[in-house]
Chains A and B, each alone.
Chain A
Amino acid sequence: MAETKIREYTKEEIKEIRKSRTPIPEQEPIVRGKNFEEVALGYTEEQALREANRCMACKKRDCVAGCPVEVPIPEFIQLVREGDFTGAAKKIKEKNSLPAICGRVCPQESQCESLCTLGKKMEPVAIGRLERFVADYERAHGGGGEVAKPKPTGFKVAVVGSGPAGLTVASDLAKIGHEVTIFEALHKAGGVLVYGIPEFRLPKAIVQSEVDGIASLGVKFELDSVVGKLYTVDELLERGFDAVFIGSGAGLPMFMNIPGENLNGVYSANEFLTRTNLMKAYLFPEYDTPIKKGKHVAVVGGGNVAMDSARTALRLGADKVYLVYRRSMEELPARKEEVHHAVEEGIDFKLLTNPVEIIGEDGWVKGIKCVQMELGEPDESGRRRPVVVKGSDFVIDVDTVVMSIGTGSNPIIPESTPGLELTKRGYIVADETGATSKPGVFAGGDIVTGSATVILAAGAGRRAADTIHEYLMSKVKN
């Protein structure tokens, strides 16, 4: 049944609209640079219909191959076209339980949209924006209705961490009737979705509504519970959990080990973003957690985390924000859309630039000394290796530096879990199905792959849920 008045496009019109994707309304750069509200405002029904009509419903479904969890893209877009937005949301949820989030943060340009057939000649269908639209529509219109309570299986599963991996495992297993408890170290569930990715890109109310939805399936959340400290993985197994899933993320911030890195005013991106997002330091002193609001800020790095830090610094009131990155614009690993937003907002990109020292005065940051780089021969990753231009060092005057050069594996679980095989870099070894070297223990997401993406973590969670279910069922037989 169509839920909205649909607009039929003529062949001529479709030919015309295919030429360019429907723009998404956004806050003006000058306005949004001063607030924490969401940048992109989302499609209206009309805009969504227009964009959906650009899709050619290709038989080959190339777009689907680009999505790590194989969302049935042409099918959901068809439902949008018919005006059945709730049906479209259901269709996506067959494969992806977090569409409101993925529609906003997936690097679509290197995933689903990169393979869209339309994209070969024109702009690809805005799959992410449509995904976001239907998920938002479903949330605003009372969701997908009551889910029938499954028959309890009597099995208990412990999930460590409430990021996208943990949330997905928990929701999938709860839907089959397993009793699931999520143990989360922080006081709020959501993982990077709540402490890392800023409000202006992913409103926390959306994450909370996903968390609430999962809680309504009967999943228990034990917050403030650090596994490895309060209970070890082995203790969870001894306490009657039949399986444990570890989705603890890659949360250990890395530093460059250059002089001056411990000066006041030098933050890891994790600290900078956690203070701002999770602890709401942008609302200080209404909220108790402070943050240094730098006037001149340098963010070191080029990924999503660096873009988020730079744009956060701007919103905290900086006059000037530099993004210091050692390669060139083409190699920036961040989502294209966010780079574009950052440029629009006036972030100053210092490319082919690498910090060598942070200069201080009386314990505080005063500047960042950098060298100019040029691109040399390709390295193992195939990207051209940046090499230092001799004698090119210069100082940028800043009072705050945010280090956003990547994260590693947190030692708490590895240290406390004997029998868990780890990689050289401390990540948990798990196969495609999520099985680790330890019986009854499964893992997925960033703690297995190193920092990756929301959808990869969610996908790993989904596969692990299947594996865990099989594992539990095999226990019945014995």
Chain B
Amino acid sequence: MANKILEKRVLRSDLFYFRIEAPELAKKAKAGQFVVVRADDNGERIPLSLANIDPDRGTISLLVQTIGVTSTKLSTLSVGDEIKDIAGPMGHKTPIEKYGRVILVGGGFGAAPLYPIGRAMKEAGNTVISITGARSADLLVYEKELGEFSDKVLISTDDGSKGHKGLVTEVLKNEIEANGADLVIAVGPAIMMKFASLTTKPYNVKTLVSLNPIMVDGTGMCGACRVSVGGKTMFGCTDGPDFDGHLVDWDLLMSRQRTYLVEEKEAMEAYTCSCAPHS
């Protein structure tokens, strides 16, 4: 059967890596694209970036950060289990070319798309610098993986337990000032992408961001994923997910991401209740 989990790793209490058998997808998908996943029959459709694409082994990888019901359901799956639905590859691939110096900025699950993108950028002849951060050193993930292809991996932690003490955006600024950049790609929480874009703006460095609006189908059918870029409404799934970070209406994105906060909390409570052992 399809979508069998071949490998699972717990990277952090809230971050899970899965390698999944999906030969057709692996043949077709490109760095920067995503899939739409459903955990079970009652499940919601959620978008997840492709964290690795291995056509030779016929597998794709996903990195799941547990936030609500679906991501939590996925996190409970084990090797040998099957994921109910995986559809894709959705969206456009990230344009891979020789730009020169490419800086990747990621946090949390943002490392997922950055891994295949960074590798492809390196293969295209770019110098690749990765910047990643977390609250503290023990929460850092993917540092080693990014190191596989990066010319340099720069770290920041809020508490200074590793690398620069402070935010990834400060490291980004320092790196641009010191060595310049031809392209910055930022992926992670909207707030991080927003500030990364604000950081690169004064230096006029082209900045790509991978937007994560709420989605349903991922095929352009519902319009849930509307984002505003350069004053124009676009669909995150079919027009993106990559957009020019300097043109994105960040406040709108963040506001729309909050649409279902109340319902999500309710769903999570119902879900954890139903999973709790009966006393």
Q: Decide yes or no: A285 and B271 within 8 Å by CB, A271-B216, A271-B223, A274-B222 being known contacts.
A: yes
User: A286 contacts the other chain (Cβ, under 8 Å)?
Assistant: yes
Contact with A along B39-70 (1 / 0, CB 8 A): 00011110000000000000000000000011
Interfacial chain A residues near B259, Cβ < 8 Å = 264-265, 292
**In the complex, which residue of chain B has the Cβ closest to the Cβ of A280?**
B42
Contact with B233, one of A262, A274, A286, A290 (Cβ below 8 angstroms): A262
Q: Are A226 and B219 in contact (CB under 8 A)?
A: yes
- With a CB–CB cut-off of 8 A, which chain A residues contact B86? 224
B238 at the interface (CB under 8 A from A): yes
Residues of A contacting B85 with CB < 8 Å? 187, 223-224
- Say whether B90 contacts A226, CB under 8 Å: yes
Which chain B residues lie closer than 8 Å to A255 at the CB level? 223, 233
What does the 1/0 interface line of A182-219 toward B look like (CB < 8 Å)?
A: 00011100000001000000000000000000000000
Question: A288 touching B87 by the CB < 8 A rule?
Answer: no
Q: Which residues of chain A from 369 to 427 have any CB-CB distance to chain B below 8 Å in the complex?
A: 410-412
Contact of A410 among B38, B88, B216, B220 (CB under 8 A): B220
Point out the residues of chain B lying under 8 angstroms from A186, CB to CB. 87, 217, 219
What total of A-B pairs shows CB separation below 8 Å? 115
A251, A265, A275, A290: residue with the most chain B Cβ atoms closer than 10 Å: A290
Chain A interface residue count, Cβ-Cβ cutoff 8 angstroms: 41
User: How many angstroms from the CA of A270 to the CA of B222 in the assembled complex?
Assistant: 5
Question: For residue B254, which residue of chain A has the nearest CB?
Answer: A363
Contact A285 B270 (CB under 8 A): yes
From residue A277, how far is it (CB to closest CB) to chain B in Å?
Answer: 12
Interface members, chain B 209-253 (any A CB < 8 Å) = 216-217, 219-224, 226, 228, 233, 238, 252
Is A1 an interface position by the 8 A CB rule?
no
Q: Does A268 contact B (CB under 8 A)?
A: yes
Shortest B73–chain A CB gap in Å is: 8
The interface residues of chain A lying within 8 Å CB-to-CB of B228 are 262
Are B220 and A411 in touch, CB under 8 angstroms?
yes
Ranked 9 nearest A-B pairs via Cβ:
A290-B263, A224-B87, A363-B255, A271-B222, A288-B44, A268-B223, A251-B221, A285-B270, A285-B267
Q: Show the binding face of A for B, using Cβ within 8 Å.
A: 185-187, 195, 223-226, 229-231, 251-253, 255, 257, 261-262, 264-265, 267-268, 270-271, 274-275, 279-280, 284-292, 363, 410-412
Which B residues lie at the A interface, using CB under 8 A?
24-25, 28, 38, 42-45, 69-70, 84-90, 216-217, 219-224, 226, 228, 233, 238, 252, 255-256, 258-260, 263-264, 266-267, 270-271
**Can you name 9 A-B pairs with beta carbons within 8 Å?**
A187-B84, A224-B85, A226-B90, A230-B88, A262-B226, A262-B256, A267-B224, A271-B223, A280-B42
